[in-house]
Amino acid sequence: MEARRVKKPLHVISFIVENKPGVLFRVAWLIRRRNFNIESISVGPTENANISRMTITLYGDEPTVEQVVKQLRKLVDVLKVSRLDPDNTVIREMALVKVHVPDPAARADLDYYVRAFRGRIVDLSPDAAIVEVTGTPQKIDAFIELMRSFGIKELARTGATALPRSPKE
């Protein structure tokens, strides 16, 4: 009898790092050493050109994730580490999906679905379209599942990026 795998909770960790070569490698190596698989990672500059924000999502048990956070705080190039509460965080991801649309009927169907997901068609060729959609990771998953009926030719996802909500007064 096959053992059932228990899905561990998803953790969102956001941190501010110095915008220098090698920082991403050191962070990824630290997480890899703890035998975690990074579910998604996004990195980009902030309002200050000298620092970047990294957001990673990963599945794991609480003690191990807490250990990763403590070790991240010890890295020289890491300035601030925050574990984000998914209930008080705005989490977004962007995907580009190239789908097969061989005829006008398929294009009309695609346009309907894209509008329903508040996406947009960003490129069109005689037999394919590239769609951009932004939203929560769950929304992106649902859109991709819907696009499978068209035939996905290529897919690119940014990975989750997140900011904590401002406190309500």
DSSP codes of every residue in 54-94: EEEEEE--HHHHHHHHHHHHHSTTEEEEEEE-GGGEEEEEE
Element (H, E) at 165: none
What digits encode the pLDDT tens for the residues 34-80? 787 888 999 999 999 999 999 999 888 888 889 889 989 999 999 99
* CATH for the stretch 90-164: 3.30.70.1150
Query: What separation in angstroms does the CA of 98 have from each of 74, 117, 127?
Result: 41, 16, 10
Domain boundaries, the chain: 10-84, 90-164
Q: What class has domain 10-84?
A: alpha beta
* Domain 10-84 shares a fold with domain 90-164: yes
What is the rounded end-to-end Cα distance, in angstroms, of the chain?
Answer: 53
Q: How far apart are CA 148 and CA 100, in angstroms?
A: 10
10 Å CB burial of residue 4 (0-12, 13-18, 19+) is: exposed
Q: How far apart are CA 50 and CA 34, in angstroms?
A: 28
What digits encode the pLDDT tens for the residues 79-126? 999 999 988 999 999 999 999 999 999 999 999 999 999 999 999 999
Total-model pTM: 0.81
